[in-house]
Structure formats: structure tokens, C-alpha cells
Amino acid sequence: MSTETVAIIDYGSGNLHSAAKAFERAARESGRDTRICLTSDPDVVAAADRLVLPGVGAYADCRRGLDAVPGMVEAMIQVAQVAGRPFLGICVGMQLLASRGLEYETTPGLGWIPGDVAPIQPSDPALKIPHMGWNTLRVARDHALLAGIPTGADGLHAYFVHSFALAAERPEDLVAQAEYGGSVTAMVARGNIAGTQFHPEKSQRLGLALIANFLNWRP
Amino acid sequence: MLKTRIIPCLDVKDGRVVKGVRFEGLRDAGDPVEAAKVYDAAGADELCFLDITASREARGTLLDIVSRTAEACFMPLTVGGGVRTVEDVRALLLAGADKVAVNTAAVKDPDLVARAAEKFGAQCIVVAIDAKRVSGAGEPARWEIFTHGGRDSTGIDAVAFARLVAEKGAGELLVTSMDKDGTRSGYDLALTRAISDAVSVPVIASGGVGGLDDLVAGVAEGGASAVLAASIFHFGQATIAEAKAHMAAAGLAMRLDGPASSARTPL
């Protein structure tokens, strides 16, 4: 098997070294010959076998950062929409898959997972915002990225930190939710596109197992 | 269901872990990166580094330690101490911190919180509130903000300040009782509760843990979303697992995933 390249897209959305290290470790531990590449070069992105879009901060800021790199969105479309290679969005990187974000202002997303990104509104007003910390996953449908990972109330935990959440228009795009005064979207997927609201690179066992699954994913 | 977090805090000076008793009489407890790895493996829910010399002696923060920790530990890391500007926040985030705690600078200029939150998102801006009780016996409880490791009084009401910085965009508040810090007599639960009730963002209880019941009280009575402790973990009085088991037995929702950070660990 030839060496695969995983491109983690660097568009100024914060520190990505720990994300890169987590992917390197998951690749090493699952015995894969994978090159993890942090890049802001659309040509490298266009040639990648797998793409990861991280994202930390405000929705509009992240969108502007992505648009500020000439050719980046086009390269992502080439890989994810035309070539159909595996794509993972993380946190705001997952939210950018939506039609639009409603944080501070209305911002268009990529529109790959139709739906809006709107404030979390827990039914219990005593619940704090942001939804910050470790929560379990309630799986709506099976997905390769969750293979072998114990989920449900007694399962492993994922690390969340967010005040907004994606509400997918198509029920079949929803993969998992977290319970926080109601259901909060934790993971979405459609075809070769997947996204997690939680941070796999910060989620210890669950996170490294999910990343290993992503590296093995053949959608 | 969201779980209560346990956060071991490593006070760092000159690149080494120390624990101050009321911020004086420092004891050396080792290399911060090694300590961080131990806590990662032990199932700590987050880690916190506080550079306790920074604001007093105008030192920069320990970017190298942060960066080496972030490369080895796949769990959330908060770093504070000597953070004065948006550029300081950026440098720590780029080094690998997930959240940055702002203390003295936020007291001097609460708009720093707003500027940093707008730039990097509220989720990564923690305001560290060091408070001392100033009300006398028989008076309604009242606390004021103190800066510079608890030495300097500001006259600012702690609860009002908590509300202000939460409105400015702090994503979380780290509330330390300067009366309790280092005493091992438990958190100032009235302070923790007063601030937790006043804001909609999560509150971390800090300062004074002497035993595992104090951690339970911080959540059950103080209303904290997370509990921070140092000595009881650093000096082996309790493990993270023991603390979690104790809190779970008291009816709190805890993350009991067991040893962390390996894709190879049998699931």
C-alpha cells in the first residue's frame, strides 16, 4: 500500500500542532503508512488522500479565514465533492459544513450538510453555556468512524466546547447527539463527508480511536 | 450527560512545578511535562498550568512547556499567568493551549476579555478571579478582587466583576479564594456559589482543597462545573481515579473512562 497523505487545513484558526500530533499518533498506533501534513497550500490540499478541516473561534472569523486563502475552498470542493475522498470537519470546521452560521451575523457555510448553526438553548436554564466538558454520545445511526467505540450513557466520553450547534435539515445526516438540556448535534455525515462537534484530538481514548477509524475509512 | 470535571493544576515557576502555600514557601514537585503526561494517563479531565511568577516578576509564559505538553497529551489544557495582551493570548494558543486564563490584566482592562473573545472565541478565554472575603462577622458576605498573587487589593466586588467579564465574553471563570488557598480547609463555598449563581458560564472552584469531600462540596454546594486542586494530587494524597470514584459515590456525574490517550488501548 502506498503512503497516504492526510492534509489538515491550516487557515489561521488557531493551534493545529496538537491536532497533527494526535493524527500522527493514531496513524502510528494503527500501523498505517500515513503522512500527516499541516498545510495552507491549496495544491497540497487538492492532492491529499484525506482532508481534515479544524476550526476554533467564531463562525464568521473562520469562514473569512478560509476565504482569505486563494483557491482553498475550490481545492476542498475538488477533494470532497468531486473526487469523493474522506473529509472530516472538527468543531467549527464541522459547523462550516452547514448552509449558514447564525453567530453574531449570518454567514454562509459550505452547504454540504444542509442546516443552520444556531445557539444551544438548553431546556434547563441552570445549564451553563458554553456546553463545555466531557459528554457521552447517543448514536442515531451506525457509522464507520464510530466502529468499535463504546457509546451511549455507559460509553466513552468526547470533549465538547461550544455555544452553537448544527441542526441538520436531513435526518439521515445526523449520526450522533449529546444530551444537554435537550439533544445537541455531536456528529454528522453524508457519504464521504463527516463532522464532529467535539474535539477528537482532545478526547483521549474515544478521540484517538475515532481518528484511527477515519484513517481507515473507505466511504 | 455532561460530567463534572476534575482539573489538576500545576503551578509553574522557572520551568518547574511548584505548589505555593498561600503563594509563599514554594516546593518543587517536578517537570511539568512529565506531570502532565501522568495526569493525562490517570484520566484527568483537563489540565491547568499557572505560571505563578509571571505577573509578579514580569516573566513571559512558558511557551516551550505548553508546546511539549500539547504534543504529548490529547486532552484540554488551560494556561494562565502573566497574560496581558491579545498577543499574549495568541502566543499561548499557538503554542498549544486550548484555553488561556487572564487575571490581573482583565481587572485592569475588562475590555481585554472582549477583544480576546472576539478574536479567538469565548470558549478559550478563562478569567481567573482571585477573591478575598472583606465582609466582617455578621455582615452579608462580600468579596473583593485581589491581584498579584493575592497581595494587592482592588476594591472591586468579586461577584459584580464576574458578571462583567462574563458579559464581556469570558467562556469560563476560575474562582480562587485567596483566604482558602493553601489552607487545605476546603473551598470558599459561599464565594463559589455566589459567582456560579450570578453568571451563565461554567465556574471552576479553586483554592483550599484538603480532602475528597471538598471536591464534592465544590459542586454540590458551590455549584461549580469543575473542581481544581493541586497538592492533594501532586503529593499523592489521592489519585484522580480515587477522586472520581468518591465524587461518583456522592451522586455526581463523573467520567470514568479509565486510562487515557491511546488508540491501541482495548476499547
pLDDT at A185: 98
**Could you give the CA distance from residue B244 to residue B5 in angstroms, rounded to a whole number?**
9
Best of A10, A204, A214, A216 to mutate (most B CBs within 10 Å, chain B): A204
Average pLDDT score over chain B: 87
pLDDT at B145: 96
B71 contacts in A (CB within 8 Å)? 17-18, 21
Give pLDDT tens digits for A100-148: 999 878 999 999 999 999 999 999 999 999 999 999 999 999 999 999 9
A17 is catalytic: no
Quick one: which H or E segment has residue B173?
strand B172-177
Cβ neighbors of B84 (< 8 A, separation 6 or more) are B104, B105, B112
**Could you give the CA distance from residue A154 to residue B158 in angstroms, rounded to a whole number?**
39
Phi-psi region of A12 (alpha: psi -120 to 50; beta: other; left: phi over 0): left
B104 CB within 8 Å of a chain A CB: no
Give pLDDT tens digits for B112-166: 999 999 888 889 999 999 999 999 989 999 999 998 777 889 999 999 999 999 9
Selecting from A17, A29, A130 the residue whose C-beta is nearest the C-beta of B71 gives A17
Cβ–Cβ below 8 Å for B1 and A136? yes
Of A109-118, A172-181, B99-108, the range with the lowest mean pLDDT is B99-108
Of A28-32, A194-198, B76-80, the range with the lowest mean pLDDT is A28-32
The whole-number average pLDDT for the span A32-53 is 96
The 3-state DSSP class for residue B245 equals helix
Q: What is the pTM of this model?
A: 0.93
DSSP strand pairing (B143-147 vs B24-28) = unpaired
pLDDT at A69: 96
**Could you give the CA distance from residue A112 to residue A181 in angstroms, rounded to a whole number?**
27
The 3-state DSSP class for residue B16 equals strand
The whole-number average pLDDT for the span B27-33 is 66
Selecting from B93, B119, B172 the residue whose C-beta is nearest the C-beta of A132 gives B172
Selecting from A14, A21, A150 the residue whose C-beta is nearest the C-beta of B267 gives A150
Give pLDDT tens digits for A51-60: 999 988 889 8
- Residues of B tagged active-site: 11, 130
**Could you give the CA distance from residue A178 to residue B169 in angstroms, rounded to a whole number?**
24
A143 is catalytic: no
Give the three cell numbers for residue A171: 435526518
ipTM of the prediction:
0.91
Question: H-type helices in B144-188, by residue range?
Answer: 158-168
Closest residue on chain B to A22 (Cα): B74
For residue B228, count CB atoms less than 10 angstroms from its CB and return exposed for 0-12, middle for 13-18, buried for 19 or more: buried
pLDDT at B58: 43
